[in-house]
Amino acid sequence: MKNIFLIANKEIKTYIASPMAYIVAASFLAVTGFFFVASVSDAFAEASIRGFLAGAVFFLIFLSPAITMRLLSEEQKLGTLELLLTSPLKETEIVVGKFIAAFSIILLMFLLTIFYTIILLIYGVPDIGPIFTGYLGLILYGAATLSVGLFASALGPNQLVSLVVGSGILTTLTFIDFIANRLSPNVAKILNHLQLGGSFSVFDQQSFGISEGGHFADFARGIISLGDITYYFSITLIFLMLTILILESRRWR
Amino acid sequence: MINVKNLSKYYGDYPAVINISFELKKGDIVGLLGPNGAGKTTTMRVLTGFTPPTEGDVTIGGYDIIKDSLEIRKLIGYLPESVPLYLDMEVTDYLEFMGKIRGMSNSQIKKRLPEVIDTIGLGEYRNVLVGKLSKGYRQRTGIAQAILHEPKILILDEPTIGIDPVQVIETRGLIKELGGNHTLILSSHILPEVSMICKRVLVIHEGKIVADDKPSVLSEKLKTSEQIELTIRSKNITEILKELRNFNFIIDARENIVNQITNKNDETINLIVEVKPENNAQEIIAKSVIEKGWGLVRLNSVPMTLEEIFMQVTTDEKPKE
């Protein structure tokens, strides 16, 4: 436990000291702000954060791997992984510590978006329930995407490759319904269960994407379902475990 | 302390280390010597628990390298060849982090860190970003992280590679000082370095240990020839060379060009004579020089350098048993 904290602490410090974290946070605010404004500026627009959520769910496909790409790729490139792995640290402690660091950054980023809700409270009467569940969903979704990103980062020393692979996996999981609906009904059923975010009508201004399909839709509507929570937890755990396995596999070779 | 038995390591089909065995006691200072790709780094990576052996047993401090890897890692301070450092951290932050992941408490670090920074000579640079340090100071930082937690075993992979000559000398001095407190394993392809620092040398070539002894004994054991430096007051070099080459125990006699240049004003000739070791060559040469009436100024037998021994054990011919 102490070791996890040590790794997490070091990584958070590195994030704060580097411009990367600020660029990521700024672009996240810019993109989600854009979606938020688009969703509330019509005459009869609903006072909700669904526009923001749609933007966040979409943008995190690229942003989460960008946050995590450094974490293990750089260790491999600098060779410092050799020092970590020859220290009395377990692979699990390294991976979980790094995950916690990235997760803290993303939570901080989400915290900054609270002012969307404040704007809604000032100019309208938003329903607080869906805002609460929306953030809960976003936190779970964020954890899952970071876990995939961290897995990609473990694959090799090149950060750009990690980013592309991470985003690639997340994009595939997001659009999996496109292919699922063209396969036999039984296969489609299974694949649809694997769908990550909203079905992608994000580009449709009316629905803002998260009203149908995927495991995020219910959170956006104000519904907490055990299935959705289990799904995001499972994705997070599975990819963290795969990351640990990749690090451990160095010992088998 | 360290017990390696029939260790082999294959990367796929490629054998990096083949069936090596050795034993180190507490406080031993050992040099792994060999050309690039000989298997030095692989051996060290197995000892540090970074890569598992394909075959063979390795025990360190009574622990098995596979079963108790975590315990072994607590005993070891390690500097890999590439000197991996976090470039975006300050020197003290980096060292504190490395100390903590090696299980040091805050108070231990507080006490130990200034000592180490002092020993290593990093004082001026304690608050500089590691990325801004010169190669020599990065090397020092690397050594600092390896000794910070006072490990029983210190493993340094090519610690003087890629730094300038002054820093090389300083680093060697530093390592020599460290030797007293640790069991030290050092790899190098620079031979005088090993003979200077280490009390025992393992020569590794193509994954096998081809020699294992004290540097001095090694040169005695493997000696197939001996060199004699000879200074004669005479001008007739051809005659002298001709005379010397008549002896059947003399393998070669040639002018010592280096000395010839520095002693240009003297009316002397400097020669290097290579002889077979069994004979009392010096006496015979001295006698013959005096009988000829040449002035014998100096006669000096030169021990063979590790370079020459190294060339002998690593060329395709088997060394003499």
Q: What is the CATH number of the domain that holds B266?
A: 3.30.70
The set of residues, in sequence order, having a beta carbon less than 8 Å from that of B152 and lying 6+ positions away, is: B1, B26, B61, B75, B76, B182, B183
**pLDDT beyond 80 at B206:** yes
Q: How far apart are CA B219 and CA B313, in angstroms?
A: 11
Tens-place pLDDT, residues A39-58? 888 777 778 888 888 889 88
Kindly tell me if the per-residue pLDDT of B100 is higher than 50: yes
Residue A142 has pLDDT above 70, yes or no: yes
Convert the pLDDT of each residue in A192-250 to its tens digit: 778 887 654 555 566 665 546 678 888 888 889 998 999 999 999 999 999 999 998 87
Is pLDDT larger for residue A131 or for residue B266? A131
| Residue span of the structural domain in which B130 resides | 2-221
Report CB contact under 8 Å: B84, A80. Answer: yes
Residue A234 CB neighbour total at 10 angstroms = 12
Amino acid symbol at B197: I
Q: Do residues B240 and B169 share a domain?
A: no
pLDDT band at B220 (very low <50, low <70, confident <90, very high): low
The pLDDT value recorded for residue B318 is 44
Structure token digits, residue B176: 């020599």
Same structural domain, B181 and B256: no
Closest chain A residue to the Cα of B87, Cα to Cα? A78
Supply φ then ψ for residue A215, to 5 degrees: -95, 0
With a cut of 80, say whether residue B218 has pLDDT above it: no
Q: What is the CATH number of the domain that holds B142?
A: 3.40.50.300
Q: Is A194 on the interface with B (CB under 8 A)?
A: no
Q: How confident is the model at residue A35 (pLDDT cuts 50, 70, 90)?
A: confident
Pick B50's closest partner by Cβ from A18, A86, A252: A86
Distance from CA of B65 to the nearest CA of A (A): 11
Q: Does B86 touch chain A (CB under 8 A)?
A: yes
CB-based contact A86 B78, cutoff 8 Å: yes
Judge whether B75 is closer than 8 Å to chain A, CB to CB: no
- In angstroms, what separates the C-alpha of B200 from chain A's closest C-alpha? 25
pLDDT band, very low/low/confident/very high, at B168 (cuts 50, 70, 90): confident
Residues B102 and B203 in one domain: yes
What is the model's pTM?
Answer: 0.82
DSSP state for residue B90 in the 8-state scheme: B
| Distance of residue B48 Cα from the nearest chain A Cα, in angstroms | 6
Which of the residue ranges A139-153, A228-242, B266-280 would you say has the lowest mean pLDDT?
B266-280
Contact status of B258 with chain A (Cβ, < 8 Å)? no
* Confidence band of B319 (pLDDT split at 50, 70, 90): very low
pLDDT in tens, B27-61: 888 999 887 788 899 999 999 988 889 999 999 98
Q: Which of B:99-158 have CB within 8 Å of A?
A: 100-103, 145
Both B192 and B287 in one domain: the answer is: no
| Residues of chain A by 3-state class (helix, strand, coil), percent to 5 | 75, 0, 25
Q: How many Cα neighbours within 13 Å face the side chain of B58?
A: 24
Mean pLDDT value across chain A: 88
What's the whole-number average pLDDT of chain B?
Answer: 83
Q: Is the pLDDT of residue B67 over 80?
A: yes
Nearest to A69 by CA among A178, A148, A172: A148
Q: Write the pLDDT tens digit of every residue in B277-317.
A: 666 778 888 888 888 888 888 888 776 666 666 666 665 44
Element (H, E) at B2: strand B2-11
The secondary structure of residue A199, as a DSSP letter, is -
| Cβ separation B86–A18 shorter than 8 A | no
**Cα-based angle B60, B66, B68 (whole degrees, multiple of 5):** 60
Q: Domain ends where: B221, B242, B258?
A: B221
Count: domains in chain B: 2
Q: Is B197 found in the same domain as B232? A: no
pLDDT at B260: 57
Domain ranges of chain A: 2-249
